[in-house]
Structure 1
Amino acid sequence: MGKADADGPELPDLPPEWGRVVVPDDAAALAAEAAQVRRELRGAARGRTRRPALAYPALVIVVALLTTIGGLLVATWPRTGRSTGLTTTTPDPTPAGLAGRPLPALDLVDAGQAPVPLRGLLPAVVLLVDGCPCPDRVVEAAAAAPPGVTVVTVSGGRTPTGPPPPGVRALADPAGGLRAFVNLPARPDSATVLLVDRGGLLVRVVPAASTVEEYRADLTRLAPAATPTG
């Protein structure tokens, strides 16, 4: 048995939308409803517990996907300096690489525009003065050259730089073939020196000679061998 609390003076006023509330005399009558409430509470608690447990595997999957995508981007992203062609460029020869190479058979011109085969002047010290007349370097070379070694100056354009010092042959290279052969830039403050033996091989190339002392020791290698007497 129970009685309505809405009519009793012992209970506080309840919201009218709750309707008529009956309080049983025996609390055991509410056992079934209490059990139902406990089941609902336990179900809600289990749901809150499962959500973090399910979130962890999902997080692992997301991280794995991001790592895979990042690796693919790194592997396929174009890199600076990566060659896309199939051919490679051979570097220009260096002075060290020129040593031992044969001098090309070039015809230069003298002051009268007459052709002069360069190989006909060997052995020789050839000074490329197309960037700098460098008269001091020319005089030093002429003084240091051993007997039988020709000192040749080669200027650009169609006429040689002159007049040359005594013992020096002044020639011009209108086509620039000798400068192109050594593949070294002309310098405004120094001459390029080529030391060529009697067989036409380059003994040494000095890209920018500032003094004869840089190649004086190699001049003896150009001197013709003495003819034995008997």
Structure 2
Amino acid sequence: MGKADADGPGLPDLPPEWGRVVVPDDASALADEAEQVRRELRRQMSAQPRRWRSPGVPVLVLLIAVVTTVAGLLTVTWPRVGRSTGPITSSPEPTPAQLTGRMLPALDLVDAGQSPVPLRGLLPAVVLLVDSCPCPGLVAETALAAPAGVNVVTVAAGSPRAAPAGTEVRALADPTGGLRAFLQAPARPDTVTALLADRAGRVVLVVTEVDSVSDYRTELRRLAG
């Protein structure tokens, strides 16, 4: 049934230590040997992953996780150079006294026809913000108290308010609210805010809540100088 062994002419150049090699005529005769080889291969493959489940591997993974966590905590809590530890506070709004001496912003107001009127082109001037109160009596008294050459200007939010009869008050509007924003003085009901600026454009006086012309009469007279 078998063919020549390693010493015969049929299987040349086989290692002599293999001994006698017989090749059967029917391959099924090798079934037992093939099954044994497959069992050995399965045993070796199933045994290979178990080497990774040795006690040292979980310990190493756990150690790496702990080190990473501690490093992250140190990064968050470690004091940094220049880091501010105090509370964050916003800048306080300027007071009327702090506005004195500042230059007026280059704002454009609008007249009744929605034409732009540069604020700096009206200097020297007393500007009365009348968006919360028309207060025609106060406006008329201011016009009477203003010396020659000093403009009296009323400024409303949406559209100009009518000037009191018999006065030369310039009625304008500030639809963008730029002047209120500069003064940091929100509109209050039944209240007029007064702004006095000299011919150079410097703020002379700000009165956020005017009671009467007496609040700015002295400074108003000086604007003519």
TM-score by length of 2: 0.60
CA contact (8 A) 1:132 1:190 kept: yes
Alignment correspondent of 1:30 = none
Q: Specify the alignment match of 1:112 in structure 2.
A: 113
Aligned to 1:61: none
Superposed displacement of residue 164, structure 1? 4.1
Corresponding position of 1:167: 168
Separation in 2, partners of 1:180, 1:128: 12
What's the offset of the Cα at 1:209?
0.5
Match of 2:193 in 1: 192
Kept in 2, the 8 Å contact 1:196–1:222? The answer is yes
Once the two structures are superposed, the pairs formed by residues 1-230 of structure 1 within 5 Å of their partners are 87-157=88-158, 159-165=159-165, 166-223=167-224, 225=225
Q: Which amino acid aligns with 1:94?
A: T
Compute the displacement of 1:85 (Å).
5.4
Rounded Cα–Cα distance in structure 2 between residues aligned with 1:138 and 1:207: 15
**Structure 2, unaligned stretches of length 5 or more?**
1-83
Assess if the C-alpha contact under 8 Å between 2:193 and 2:206 holds in 1: yes
Shift of 1:189: 1.8
Q: CA deviation at 1:87?
A: 4.0
Range with greater deviation from structure 2 (87-96 or 141-150): 87-96
**What CA distance in whole angstroms lies between the structure 1 residues aligned with 2:222 and 2:198?**
7
How far the C-alpha of 1:88 sits from its partner, in A, is 3.1
Label 1:170 to 1:163 Cα distance change in 2 as closer, same or farther (>3 A).
same
> Quick check: which one's strand share is greater?
1
Identity of aligned residues (%): 65
State the alpha-carbon separation in 1 of the partners of residues 144 and 218 from structure 2. 14
The amino acid that maps onto 2:120 is R
Separation of aligned partners in 2, 1:105 and 1:137:
27
Letter paired with 2:101: G
Secondary structure of residue in 2 paired with 1:142: helix
Would you say the 8 A contact 2:150–2:223 is kept in 1? yes
Aligned residues: 141
Q: What is the match of residue 35 of structure 1?
A: none
Consecutive unaligned residues of structure 1, counting only runs of 5 or more, are: 1-82, 226-230
User: Given that residues 156 and 172 in structure 2 are in contact (C-alpha distance below 8 angstroms), is that contact kept between their aligned partners in structure 1?
Assistant: yes
Query: In the alignment, which residue of structure 1 is the partner of 2:47?
Result: none
Letter in 1 for 2:199: R
Distance (whole Å) between structure 1 residues aligned to residue 85 and residue 161 of structure 2: 47
Offset of residue 84 of structure 1: 5.8
Contact 1:164 1:170 in 2 (8 A): no
Sort the Cα spacing of 1:86 and 1:210 in 2 relative to 1 into closer, same or farther, 3 A: closer
Q: Note the C-alpha offset of 1:137.
A: 1.1
Query: Any idea what SS the aligned residue of 2:209 has?
Result: strand
Distance 1:85 1:184 in 2: 29
Counterpart Cα distance in 1 of 2:146 and 2:207: 15
Q: Tell me, what secondary structure is at the counterpart of 1:220?
A: helix
Is the Cα contact below 8 Å between 2:163 and 2:170 reproduced in 1?
no
- Amino acid across the alignment from 1:215: Y
